[in-house]
Amino acid sequence: MAKELRISKSKTQTFYDRIADVHNLMMNVNGYQSSIAKYLRSAALNLDENSLVLDAGSGTGIVTLGFYGAGFQPRKTVALDLSFNSLKIAGEQFESDAETDAENVSAVQGNVLQLPFDDDIFDLVLSCGVLEYVSVKEGLREFARVLKKGSHLVLIPVRSSIIGSVLEVLYKFKTRSIEETERIARQHFEMVDKHKFPLTEPIGWSKIILLLRKT
pLDDT for residue 8 is more than 60: no
Q: Give 139's Cβ-side CA count (13 Å radius).
A: 23
Neighbours of 116 (CB within 10 A): 18
Spatial distance between the Cα atoms of 91 and 38, rounded to a whole number of angstroms = 22
pTM here is: 0.89
Spatial distance between the Cα atoms of 3 and 114, rounded to a whole number of angstroms = 10
pLDDT in tens, 46-82: 999 999 999 999 999 999 999 999 999 999 999 999 9
pLDDT in tens, 98-128: 999 999 999 999 999 999 999 999 999 999 9
pLDDT at 6: 37
Taken in order of first residue, the domains within the chain and their CATH numbers are 11-214 (3.40.50.150)
- CB-CB contact of 91 with 21 (8 Å): no
H helices of 43-150, where?
62-69, 84-96, 136-146
CA-based nearest residue to 109, from 22, 1, 5: 5
